[in-house]
Amino acid sequence: MPNEEIYGVDYSSNGGVSSTGDILCVEGLENAKQAIRNALITPLGSYPSVDDEYGSEIYTLQGEDLTSNQLQALTVHIQNGLLKEERVKEIQNIELKLEPEGLKAYLHVLLVNDAEEEMTLDMEDLYG
C-alpha cells in the first residue's frame, strides 16, 4: 500500500505556494510528520467545534522554569500527544535537550507501516 494511502495528503503548513500561486501539498510520510508536529504544537482544545481532543498540553508549562520536574511533565505531555496520533504505532524515545538556540524535543517513533522516524520539535517559542 503506498504511503499516500496510509498517511494521507494535506496542505503544507509551512506557508509554501507553487509558482502558479497554489498552496503546496504534502503527502505520504511528510504528511504524517507534519500532522504529528501540528498536533503536538497545537494547544489542546483549540478547535472545539471540530475536535476538542485535538492538540497537546505542552503549552501548560509555557513560561515556567525548566526544572527536572518540568522537563518530565513536558515529556509526558509529548508522549500523550503522540499516543493520540493514529499514525504512530509506538514511541521509541523522547529526549529533551536544552541547546544554545533553545529547547528541542527529539522524537523517535514507529509509524503504522513500521517506518521508523526521527523528528525534532523546536520548542524555543515555548521555552526559549
Percent of the chain with pLDDT over 90: 59
Q: Taking residues 2-23, what's their average pLDDT?
A: 84
Q: Looking at the chain, how many residues does it have?
A: 128
Domain at 3-127: CATH architecture: Roll (3.10)
pTM (2 decimals)?
Answer: 0.85
Q: Which long-range contacts (CB under 8 A, 24 or more apart) does 56-59 make?
A: 56/80, 56/81, 56/84, 57/81, 58/123, 58/126, 59/126
Residue 88 has pLDDT above 70, yes or no: yes
Q: What is the 3-state secondary structure (H, E, C) of 44-80?
A: CCCCCCCCCCCCECHHHHCCCCCCHHHHHHHHHHHHH
Give the CA dihedral 58, 117, 36, 71, nearest 10 degrees: 0
pLDDT digits (tens, 9 = 90+) for 19-65: 999 999 999 889 999 999 999 999 999 988 888 889 999 988 887 78
Residues whose CB is less than 8 angstroms from the CB of residue 33 and which lie 6 or more positions away in sequence, other chains included: 117, 119
The pLDDT mean for the chain works out to 89
